Structure 1
Amino acid sequence: MQNGNGWNAVFWCCHDQPRVLSRFGDDKNYPKESAKMLATTIHMLRGTPYIYQGEEIGMTNAYFIDIYQYRDVESLNAYQILKDKGVLEKEIYQILLTKSRDNARTPMQWNDQAYAGFSDVESWIEPIYNYKDINVEKNLEDQDSVFYYYQKLIQLRKQYQVISLGTYEPLLSDHPTLYAYKRQYQDQAIIVYNHFYGDQTTSISIDATQYDILLSNVNRQTLENEMMLKPYESLVLIKK
């Protein structure tokens, strides 16, 4: 894409895919950290990032526990086909939990009121059980929320041309837990580290005299030449 001067559409989610926070993050133990890390991963890339409804407040998979909660015809058919093949019901539900398109089709969670503030009456598909904790109002009340972090990412893309126009160079391509890359435009350069796991044993080596912290999803304040990354940490460095 870069060599041919092409332009990417950069996205994680759509109406046909489960929620990225539940797929590639940890929505139970590190919901904020992993939601912010996943957002950083694509917003620092070359191309146009897309945000799917609810992604900006940290919405998760539906975690439905009864087939009657599902509406997607593909999910309903899969349930019956697998059941007819003798697959245990608990295994079928596990498959639907991770793969059903309904995971991304639940109502937008606006507040902790009835029906998540999406409607005054029962909706076609019910809100996720966690809507009282994950909703727009809660995000707006918390200055460290996923929503405000998305705003910061958008602001940085507008502020620094290296993010919107810079070249892309992969770094540490063989690393088992990190997705890292460098962006460069004229005299600007940034390095982006995204830690995709919850372990606390991943370290990076940098020249701390050459870079400043542009963005951290875990509020890291200082740089060292050798650093241990926190679970689901994103770290964006900008060349001095």
Structure 2
Amino acid sequence: MSGDAPWWRSAVVYQVYPRSFADADGDGVGDLRGVLQRLDHLADLGVDVLWLSPVYRTPQDDNGYDISDYQDVDPAFGTLADLDALVEGLHARGMRLLMDLVVNHTSDEHPWFVESRSSPVSPKRDWYWWRPPREGMAPGDPGAEPTDWRSFFSGSAWQLDEASGEYYLHLFSRKQPDLNWENPEVRAAVHAMMRWWLDRGVDGFRMDVINLISKDPALPDGVPDGRGRWSDGSAAYVCGPRIHEFLQEMHREVFAGREGAFLTVGEMPGVTVEEARLFTDPARREVDMVFQFEHVGLDQGASKWDVRPLRLTDLKASFGRWQAGLAATGWNSLYTSNHDQPRVVSRWGDDGRWRRESATAIATVLHLHRGTPYVYQGEEIAMANAPFASVDDLRDIESLNHWREAVEHGDDPERVMASLRAMGRDNARTPMQWDASPQAGFTAGEPWIAVNPDHAEWNVAAQRDDPHSVLAHYRRLVALRHEDPVVAHGDFTMLLPHDEQVYAFTRRLGDVELLVLGNLSGEPAVAGVDASWAGADVVLGNYPAGGGQGLALAPWEARVHRRTLG
């Protein structure tokens, strides 16, 4: 089986958020030449793919996810020549470049939208979702919006255009109008742009919220949920009626004849296991793998700002369901961190006494699952959440909108700030910590967002030559996936599903079997698995001098045992 498997099943992806990765020109904002200068770090880590968050021309309303020109680089990040140099540098090191594709929406400053907004009879009016006010209501009246849909960034998903008296749809910021994929001209323009990037040397796309591109053309209001409440209308656009058709068409128009060499990753909020199986079935030719969110919502109540402790059994149930659901057909992305999530060592680990141990234990458990693992910049050195003192320290539009809305609603500002410190996206966007210098080696200037003060201790330079560092452990994790086919291609069996301390599972391929144990707590534990595993070889562990003995585990200890079956 492994001999015929796609290359990306044994690959590891590293995500770079360029604004915060490395600044070559000293203006305080990371750029492409900064990324190029740090490629040897990625090569040393051993990763196969660099996923680059958006570097297209943008007004920066949503830190680059609001694109005003798909075929140019924003001057803040450099030039097209710099991007070409990055592609060349990656290919020379045996790595590939995955671009972020943001085509559910554009910036309101994109020429397509400027033209669409110019007149109700514009040829591009139907490139976006325009609707009049509700019947019998005047533009701007309370409740006159065409539907009751809510934006992911707070407030209504509709913005009034004063000039025409009509509203346009924006599932995210009001400066991010949604494209109308029902229009074949829109789809053709997107396909042409994608082919242009592939012809330029890019190796594939991570497709931002791609399962939201198909909307029910009726744009219905939310519906009763059976508990006296109304839904938010998402049933009309999460995995909408034509989503599979649109993705299959994209594959035909963009990737036909290029299969095998490229990677397509679909970021899909709200996707179910059953839908993911369809999206990633190779025979259907839609996307190679999904990026789903179920597990990163387990520590949240009514919203992401309603922070709850994570129950390990809930995490096992979620991961286990996805492992089982995609076992025969389909593929999943494995991650705990990215540009939209807080730092995992602060969120689910212990960023105090057990920082090194908890960071490496969580990583070990994650990377040994079936799927393609992702490393978010700084995760490999256990970067932690930042100690934001006040809302003035924040930069993210989602956090700033939530603060304003919650405080205006009368919520306690300190409680609101506490939830922002825990879950805000700025935690993932503080500058990469390269060394102990004043700005962590990120920039010679004033950074666009403050460097975490713990960078003096937690940085790449301090860990690079330390064989017991978090960075060294990540190198070993990546190498194990490359060297042992069972990691990439073996089947998966969850063990101890009801244990609240120990995460345990086996991977098996042919006569080779791995046992993965992770004590995800600050107290010693004993793994209640088959005692015969106690004598099996340990091929990877996160305690340099050895932790517990046999099947006993020290706090935050992770081990991978290997045996050959008779």
TM-score category, normalised to shorter length: over 0.9
Q: TM-score, normalised by structure 2?
A: 0.41
Q: Which has the larger radius of gyration?
A: 2
1:215–1:236 contact (8 Å) kept in structure 2: yes
Matched with 1:44 is 368
2: CA distance between counterparts of 1:39 and 1:229? 16
Instruction: In structure 1, give the amino acid aligned to 2:542.
Output: N
Among 96, 99, 115, the residue aligned to 2:439? 115
Residue deviations 1:181-235, cap 9 Å, x none? 10000110001011111122444452256511111111327853xx432111111
1:81-100 counterparts in 2 under 5 A?
81-100=405-424
Residue deviations 1:84-127, cap 9 Å, x none? 23333321221111110101011111111121110111111111
Matched with 1:18 is 342
Aligned residues: 238
2:469 aligned with 1:145, yes or no? yes
2:357–2:542 contact (8 Å) kept in structure 1: yes
Q: What's the secondary structure of 2:532's corresponding residue? A: coil
Matched with 2:543 is 218
1:208–1:223 contact (8 Å) kept in structure 2: no
1:13–1:52 contact (8 Å) kept in structure 2: yes
Matched with 2:456 is 132
Residue deviations 1:22-41, cap 9 Å, x none? 11100111000011011101
Instruction: In structure 2, give the amino acid aligned to 1:71.
Output: R
2:538–2:560 contact (8 Å) kept in structure 1: yes
Among 479, 484, 487, the residue aligned to 1:160? 484
Unaligned residue ranges in structure 1 (runs of 5+): none
2: CA distance between counterparts of 1:184 and 1:92? 46
2:538 aligned with 1:196, yes or no? no
1:44-63 counterparts in 2 under 5 A?
44-63=368-387
1:177–1:202 contact (8 Å) kept in structure 2: no
1: CA distance between counterparts of 2:492 and 2:533? 21
1: CA distance between counterparts of 2:523 and 2:413? 32
Residue deviations 1:6-29, cap 9 Å, x none? 222111111111111111100111
User: Runs of 4+ in structure 1 displaced over 4 angstroms?
Assistant: none
Q: Matched residues, percent identical?
A: 36
Matched with 1:75 is 399
2:521–2:556 contact (8 Å) kept in structure 1: yes
Matched with 1:207 is 532
1:236 positional shift: 1.0
- Structure number with greater CO (CA < 8 Å, separation at least 6) is 1
The RMSD of aligned alpha carbons is 1.7
2: CA distance between counterparts of 1:239 and 1:80? 56
Unaligned residue ranges in structure 2 (runs of 5+): 1-324
2:524–2:553 contact (8 Å) kept in structure 1: yes
